[in-house]
Copies of this chain bind each other. A is one copy, B any other.
Amino acid sequence: MKIELTSGKTLSATKNESIYHALRRQGIYLVASCGGKGVCGKCRVKLLEGRGRIISTGKLTPIDIDARFVLACQTFPEENIFIEIPEESRLVVGERIAISKSRDLFELLHSLKAEISPIVKRIQLNLPPPTIHDNISDLERLKRALDEKGMKGMRFSHGFVSSMATALRKADWKANLAYTDGPEAIFISPLKSKDRYGIAVDIGTTTIVVYLVNLTDGRLIDVGSTYNSQMRYGDDIITRIVYATEGGGLEELRDTVVSDINAILTPMIERHNIRIEDIESAVISGNTTMSHIFWGLSPQYIREEPYIPTMNLFPSWKAGTARLNINLQAPVYTVPCVASYVGGDIVAGVLASKMHRSDEVSLFMDIGTNGEIAIGNSEWIVTAACSAGPCFEGSGIRHGMRATEGAIESVKIDPRTFEPVINVIGNGKPMGICGSGMIDAISEMFLIGVIDQKGRFVREVKTGRIRDGVDGPEFLIFSRDGRDIVLTEVDIENILRAKAAIYAGVSLLLKEVGVTLDKIGRAYIAGGFGNYLNVDKAIILGMLPDLPEGKFKFLGNTSIAGAYLCLLSDTMRRKAEEIAGKMTYMELSVSRRFMDEYMSALFLPHTDIGLFPTVEKLLYKLYKK
C-alpha cells in the first residue's frame, strides 16, 4: 500500500504496519513521547483519503476527530491513503539542545582540567609475520611483542581472540592493540584507523538521551533521545521494580531499555556513516534501578527494607553483555551509584555541577522523575531522593513536552484580559508546554487569581479561557488553526504534588544537616528544564526555596553531561567514584517528618507563607494596594 503526503512525497506501508512505523521506516519521524504506544496523543496526522484500521483515538478531542485527525501510531492503513502531517507532529531529529550544548560540554571538560583519555587505550604493535621457522601461535606472537614492551598480564577474552587472527592478518601484522585497564585486550585495529567513537547514555526513568561523541577530540557528533519505553509498564520506579520482580518481567524491561538505546543509535550511525565497530566505549548514567535493569540485575532488594542495591560500583563489563549495538567488545562504564534511590545520574550531576570542588555549601536539585537532592561542598555531601514524578518532563500533562523545539517555555498572563503571552523554543509554532512553561503558567494563574491556593480554578473569574474540556476544567493557553494548548486542573494537581515533594525534600535535608538557607552559596537546578526557568515563578509556585535569584544556576541534563565527562576522561571517572564514595545517603521515604513537610508544601506556595517572604511581599503588593 501507499502513503501519499500533502508534500507530494509517496511512501510505502506494509500489512499490519502503523502509519507511525511506516513513516519512521522511511525516515520521517513523528513526535511520540510515549514511543508509539497510543498514550501521549502527540503523533496526530490528518487522514485525508483512504481507509485505515484505527485501534484507539487516545487523547483526540471530538473536534480533532471531526477534523479527520488520527493517531499515527494507532492507525493501520487498509488501502492507499493520503495524509497531512501537521508541523507540531513532526520531529526534527537532533534537538536544539545538541548544538547549544556541544560547546558548553567542551568548556565544561576544559574547566575541570581533564585531558582527553578514553576508556580504551591503544598500543602500537609491529609484529614479525609468522614463517615456518617462527611458527608460534598468533596469541603467543602478540604476547611476545607485549612482553618486549614491558606489558605483562594482559587478559584475553574469548571475544577478543575470536576476531584476532583475521584482524592481525588484515592489518598485515602492523596494528594497534586496543585495551582497557586490567589490562584486558579489546580488539585489534589497523594503524591508520582514526575513527574512534563512544556513546554517553542517560537512562532516565522517563527519557533516554544518547550522545555520540568523537573520542579523539571530544566533539559531540549527534544527540538523540526518546521516552523510555519502560513507561508502558508504569511511570515510576516502584511500579517497574514490581513488574521486574513479582511480574517476572526483568528481562523484558531490560530488553526495552536496551532496544530504546539501540533504536536511537541506528539512525545516528547511518546519518554519520559510522561503523558500529568504531564505537569503542560507552558510559551509562542512570538511577540505581535503571542501572540495575540495564544490566539485567534484579532490582528486588532495592525495594525491600533495608533497601540494598546489588551493587553501586559496577565493574567494566562489555557491550556484548549489555546487548548494546556497538563494538561487542567495547567496555561499558556505569557511573557509580550511591544507594538504592540515589544513582549514577546524581553522581554525574554533582560531577558536572563542580560543587565537589567548592568550599562553599551548594544545593543540587535534579528535577526529573524522582527528584534527587544533594547538599554539600568539597568536604562532604549528603543526598536524598523524593518522589517528584515525571510531569516536568511533559509526562502525565495533557500538552506536556520536553524542553525542545516547539515547547512553550515561558508564559506571562495579562491580569486584566487573561491573555497569555508565550515564548516558544525555536520561536516557531507552539506544539506543547514544557516544565518551565508549566511553572510560569501556574504561578501567573495564581498571582492573577485564576486558581486558588490549592490549585483549583476560581470559576467566578470571567474569561472564556477557563472552560470544560475532556479531562475537566482547563485553561486555554494557546489556540490557532484548531490546535489548542491547555493546562487542565488535573495537570495542575500533578504539578503541585511534584513541587511539594521537591520542596519537602530540600527542606528536610537542610534541617537534617543543620544548614540554614542563608548558608547556601549556590543552588544548581538540573533536569528537563532546558536553559530556561523563571526562578521567581518557581519560588511563587513553592518549588524552589526562597533564595536570591542570583544564587540559582540552571544546568540542564547533568546526568548526560557527567556521562560525557566520564566517557572522555580517566580523571573524571576516578572523580565520579570519589564523589559516589563520599556521598552520605538519607532515606526519606520511610520518614514521618518528610510526609509532614510534603503535606504542608501542597499549597501555593506553602501553608507557612513565612517561609516565602518574597512571595508574601509580592502578594501583599498585589492585593493590599
Residues of A within 8 A of B (CB): 130-132, 135-140, 155-158, 161-162, 164-166, 169, 295-298, 300-301, 305-313, 315, 317, 321, 337, 339-340, 585, 587
Q: Which residues of B contact A313 (CB under 8 A)?
A: 137, 139-140
Across the interface, name the chain B residue whose C-beta is closest to A295. B158
Give 24 CB contacts A-B under 8 Å. A130-B308, A132-B587, A135-B307, A135-B339, A137-B308, A137-B309, A138-B301, A138-B309, A138-B310, A139-B310, A139-B311, A139-B313, A140-B313, A158-B295, A158-B315, A161-B295, A161-B297, A161-B311, A162-B296, A165-B298, A165-B300, A165-B310, A166-B300, A169-B301
Q: Is the CB of B162 within 8 A of A297?
A: yes
- Complexed CA–CA distance, A311 and B321 (Å): 24
- Complexed CA–CA distance, A337 and B321 (Å): 29
Q: Is the CB of A138 within 8 A of B308?
A: yes
Q: Is the CB of A306 within 8 A of B130?
A: yes
Q: Which residues of B contact A158 (CB under 8 A)?
A: 295-296, 315, 317, 321
- Complexed CA–CA distance, A333 and B161 (Å): 16
- Complexed CA–CA distance, A136 and B140 (Å): 42
- If the complex has contacts A158-B321, A298-B166, A321-B158, are A306 and B131 also in contact, measured as CB distance less than 8 A? yes
Q: Which residues of B contact A137 (CB under 8 A)?
A: 308-313, 337
Q: Quick one: copies of this chain in the complex?
A: 2
- Complexed CA–CA distance, A310 and B131 (Å): 14
Across the interface, name the chain B residue whose C-beta is closest to A312. B137
- Complexed CA–CA distance, A339 and B135 (Å): 8
- Chain B nearest CB from A343 CB (Å) reads 12
10 further contact pairs, Cβ within 8 A, besides A132-B307, A138-B301: A132-B305, A136-B308, A137-B310, A140-B311, A156-B315, A158-B296, A161-B315, A162-B296, A162-B297, A165-B300
Across the interface, name the chain B residue whose C-beta is closest to A160. B315
- Complexed CA–CA distance, A136 and B301 (Å): 12
- Chain B nearest CB from A136 CB (Å) reads 8
- Chain B nearest CB from A582 CB (Å) reads 14
Q: Which residues of B contact A312 (CB under 8 A)?
A: 136-137, 139-140
Q: Which residues of B contact A165 (CB under 8 A)?
A: 297-298, 300-301, 310
- Chain B nearest CB from A135 CB (Å) reads 5
Q: Is the CB of B135 within 8 A of A311?
A: no
- Complexed CA–CA distance, A136 and B340 (Å): 9
- Complexed CA–CA distance, A136 and B138 (Å): 44
- Of A137, A140, A156, A306, which is in contact with the most chain B CB atoms at under 10 Å from its CB? A137
- If the complex has contacts A130-B306, A137-B310, A306-B130, are A315 and B155 also in contact, measured as CB distance less than 8 A? yes
- Complexed CA–CA distance, A587 and B309 (Å): 57
- Complexed CA–CA distance, A558 and B19 (Å): 66
- Chain B nearest CB from A308 CB (Å) reads 5
The 7 closest A-B pairs by CB, nearest first: A139-B311, A132-B306, A165-B310, A137-B312, A137-B309, A130-B308, A158-B321
Q: Which residues of B contact A309 (CB under 8 A)?
A: 137-138
- Of A155, A307, A310, which is in contact with the most chain B CB atoms at under 10 Å from its CB? A310
Q: Which residues of B contact A297 (CB under 8 A)?
A: 161-162, 165
- Chain B nearest CB from A309 CB (Å) reads 5
Q: Is the CB of A310 within 8 A of B132?
A: no
- Complexed CA–CA distance, A301 and B301 (Å): 50
- Complexed CA–CA distance, A138 and B315 (Å): 14
- Complexed CA–CA distance, A417 and B475 (Å): 115
Across the interface, name the chain B residue whose C-beta is closest to A134. B306
Q: Which residues of B contact A157 (CB under 8 A)?
A: 315, 317
- Complexed CA–CA distance, A488 and B156 (Å): 51
- Complexed CA–CA distance, A155 and B313 (Å): 12
- Complexed CA–CA distance, A311 and B143 (Å): 11
- Complexed CA–CA distance, A309 and B295 (Å): 35
Q: Which residues of B contact A135 (CB under 8 A)?
A: 306-308, 339-340, 585
Q: Which residues of B contact A340 (CB under 8 A)?
A: 135
- Complexed CA–CA distance, A157 and B182 (Å): 13
Q: Which residues of B contact A139 (CB under 8 A)?
A: 310-313
- Complexed CA–CA distance, A135 and B131 (Å): 59
- Complexed CA–CA distance, A137 and B585 (Å): 12
- Complexed CA–CA distance, A140 and B581 (Å): 11
Q: Which residues of B contact A306 (CB under 8 A)?
A: 130-132, 135
Q: Which residues of B contact A155 (CB under 8 A)?
A: 315
- Of A131, A161, A295, A300, which is in contact with the most chain B CB atoms at under 10 Å from its CB? A161
Across the interface, name the chain B residue whose C-beta is closest to A338. B137
Q: Which residues of B contact A298 (CB under 8 A)?
A: 165-166
Q: Is the CB of B310 within 8 A of A161?
A: yes
Q: Which residues of B contact A301 (CB under 8 A)?
A: 138, 165, 169
Q: Which residues of B contact A296 (CB under 8 A)?
A: 158, 162
- Complexed CA–CA distance, A161 and B156 (Å): 21
- Chain B nearest CB from A623 CB (Å) reads 47
- Chain B nearest CB from A181 CB (Å) reads 12
- Chain B nearest CB from A60 CB (Å) reads 44
Across the interface, name the chain B residue whose C-beta is closest to A296. B162
- Complexed CA–CA distance, A136 and B337 (Å): 11
Q: Which residues of B contact A308 (CB under 8 A)?
A: 130, 135-138
- Chain B nearest CB from A418 CB (Å) reads 51
- Complexed CA–CA distance, A564 and B365 (Å): 61
Across the interface, name the chain B residue whose C-beta is closest to A340. B135
- Complexed CA–CA distance, A309 and B141 (Å): 11
- Of A138, A301, A308, which is in contact with the most chain B CB atoms at under 10 Å from its CB? A308
- Complexed CA–CA distance, A340 and B165 (Å): 14
- Chain B nearest CB from A553 CB (Å) reads 32
